[in-house]
C-alpha cells in the first residue's frame, strides 16, 4: 500500500502573516534540521516528558505558537494553536458552559499540586490521553475535526475542517492524535466540544476487585448516565453525570454512599495526583477487555474505565507482564518510570509495524521528528 498526502491535505509552504510568523519560524527550523538530517525533540509544556521512550535531538518549542484561533459556541467547535495552555482553553469553554468531555490529563500538577498546569493543547492531542470519562463519552481522537501540521519535509498541511461533514483528510487529522509528534509538529487543532453536565454525583461501594469488575460491566449496560468508574483500595467509585433527573434516578437505583468533594477526587484520578500514583515504582498501563478477570500479577492495582484500563505498580520484568496481558487479550505500556530506553509500548504485529513505517516515510522521510519516541526504529 502506498501512502499519499496529495488528496487529503491542502499545502501551505509559506504561512500567512495572520499567523504572526509563528508557523514560519517553526518551519524554518524544521527545514534546517531536515537539510542537516538532525533529529528534533518537539517540546510544549513538558508535562508529559516522562511518556514514551527517552526523547532525543534538538529541542523545538511550540510554546510561543499559542492562542485561540476561533471559537464558535453555537457550533460546539474550537480551534487553537498547539502551544496554548490547556487550562486557558478549558476556562474559555467553561465561561460558555462547555467542556472537553474526554477530560485530557494535566500531568504537570502531579509533583507540585499548587503549580499552575503547563500542559499545552498540542501536547494533549499528541499524546492522545483521555481521562475518566473516556469509555462513556469517547476518546481524544473521537473529537478531533481537523489539524494544521508541519511535516518532517518542512511542509505545512491542513487536514479536515471545523465541521463534522468535512471529511477531506478527516482520518489523517485523527491520525496525528497519539502519534507523539513522530509524524508532524502540530500547529493548530480543531475540536468538537460539548455542553457541561447539569448535575454530577459520585457513589462509593465497598467490594473486592472481581465484584467491582462485574458491577461496572453490568451498570455499563443500563440506561444510566455513567461518566466515570474507578476501583481503588477496596472501594468502587461511580460517577453519574447528566440531567438532574437522570442523575437522581440513577443514584436511587444504584444506592451506595455519596462522595463529597467528588470533583477533587476525579481530578486526582485524571492528573495522577491521587495517593496511588505518588511513588517511584514503575507504573504500567494495561488495556484489556473490560469484563476480563483480574490478572494474577503481583503488585498494586487500580482499575478504571469499567475495567478496560488497569494500572499496575510492580517491579516484575516487562516480558512477564506483557505475556500475561497478551494471553488475556490486552496490551501493556510502561507508562512512567523504569528504563525509558527499553521497549515502552507493546510490540506491533508485522503488518501494523509495516504500516507505521510507511506512514512515517510519507510524513517524515528523513526520520527527524521525535525519533525513537514510540519505538526504537521509528
Q: List the CATH number of the domain containing 32.
A: 3.30.465.10
The whole-angstrom distance between residue 180's C-alpha and the CA centroid of its chain comes to 10
| 90 shares its domain with 46 | yes
Domain boundary among the residues 271, 302, 319 is at 271
| 152 shares its domain with 44 | yes
- Residue 4's pLDDT is 41
| 159 shares its domain with 63 | yes
Q: Which three cell numbers stand for residue 285?
A: 498501563
Mean pLDDT by 10 residues, the chain (378 residues): 43 46 92 97 93 95 95 97 96 98 82 68 97 97 95 92 47 91 97 97 97 97 97 97 98 96 95 93 97 95 98 96 96 96 93 94 96 94
User: What range defines the domain where residue 231 resides?
Assistant: 199-271
Supply the DSSP string of 147-190, one letter for each residue.
EEEE-TTS-EEEEE-SSTT--TTHHHHHHTTTSTTSS-EEEEEE
| 206 shares its domain with 263 | yes
What is the domain count for the chain?
3
Q: Which three cell numbers stand for residue 318?
A: 516487562
- Residue 169's pLDDT is 42
- Residue 43's pLDDT is 95
d(CA 30, CA 367): 12
Q: Which tens digit of pLDDT belongs to each residue from 311-326?
A: 999 999 999 999 999 9
| 168 shares its domain with 117 | yes
Q: Which tens digit of pLDDT belongs to each residue from 192-249?
A: 999 999 999 999 999 999 999 999 999 999 999 999 999 999 999 999 999 999 999 9
For residue 368, tell me if it sits in a domain. no
Record the pTM. Answer: 0.90
Indicate the helix (H) or strand (E) that contains 236.
strand 235-242
| 72 shares its domain with 205 | no
- Residue 76's pLDDT is 97
Amino acid at each position: 500500500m502506498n501512502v499519499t498526502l496529495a488528496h487529503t491535505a491542502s499545502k501551505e509552504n509559506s504561512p500567512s502573516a495572520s499567523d504572526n510568523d509563528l508557523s514560519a519560524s517553526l518551519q524554518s527550523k524544521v527545514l534546517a534540521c531536515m537539510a542537516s538530517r538532525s533529529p528534533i525533540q518537539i517540546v510544549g509544556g513538558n508535562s508529559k516528558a516522562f511518556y514514551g521512550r527517552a526523547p532525543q535531538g534538538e529541542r523545538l518549542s511550540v510554546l510561543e505558537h499559542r492562542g485561540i484561533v476561533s471559537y464558535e459556541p453555537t457550533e460546539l467547535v474550537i480551534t487553537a494553536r498547539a502551544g496554548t495552555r490547556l487550562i486557558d482553553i478549558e476556562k474559555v469553554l467553561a465561561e460558555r458552559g462547555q467542556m472537553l468531555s474526554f477530560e485530557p490529563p494535566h500531568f504537570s500538577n502531579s509533583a507540585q499540586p499548587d503549580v499552575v498546569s503547563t500542559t499545552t493543547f498540542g501536547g494533549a492531542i499528541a499524546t492522545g490521553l483521555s481521562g475518566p470519562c473516556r469509555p462513556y463519552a469517547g476518546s481524544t481522537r473521537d473529537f478531533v475535526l481537523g489539524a494544521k501540521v508541519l511535516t518532517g519535509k518542512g511542509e505545512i498541511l491542513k487536514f479536515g475542517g471545523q465541521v463534522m461533514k468535512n471529511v477531506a483528510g478527516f482520518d489523517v487529522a485523527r491520525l496525528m492524535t497519539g502519534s507523539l509528534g513522530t509524524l508532524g509538529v502540530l500547529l493548530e487543532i480543531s475540536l468538537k466540544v460539548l455542553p457541561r453536565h447539569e448535575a454530577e454525583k459520585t457513589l462509593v461501594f465497598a467490594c473486592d476487585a472481581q465484584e467491582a469488575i462485574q458491577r461496572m460491566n453490568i451498570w455499563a449496560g443500563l440506561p444510566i448516565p455513567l461518566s466515570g468508574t474507578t476501583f481503588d483500595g477496596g472501594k468502587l467509585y461511580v460517577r453519574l453525570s447528566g440531567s438532574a433527573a437522570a442523575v437522581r434516578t440513577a443514584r436511587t437505583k444504584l444506592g451506595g454512599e455519596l462522595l463529597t468533594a467528588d470533583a477533587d477526587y476525579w481530578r486526582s484520578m485524571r492528573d495522577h495526583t491521587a495517593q496511588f500514583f505518588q511513588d517511584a515504582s514503575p507504573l504500567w498501563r494495561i488495556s484489556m477487555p473490560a469484563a476480563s478477570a483480574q490478572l494474577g500479577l503481583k503488585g498494586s492495582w487500580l482499575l478504571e474505565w469499567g475495567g478496560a484500563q488497569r494500572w499496575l505498580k510492580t517491579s516484575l520484568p516487562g516480558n512477564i507482564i506483557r505475556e500475561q496481558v497478551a494471553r488475556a487479550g490486552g496490551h501493556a505500556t510502561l507508562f512512567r518510570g523504569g528504563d525509558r530506553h527499553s521497549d515502552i509500548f507493546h510490540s506491533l504485529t508485522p503488518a501494523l509495524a509495516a504500516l507505521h513505517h510507511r506512514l512515517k516515510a510519507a510524513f517524515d522521510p528523513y526520520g527527524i521528528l521525535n525519533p525513537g519516541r514510540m519505538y526504537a526504529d521509528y
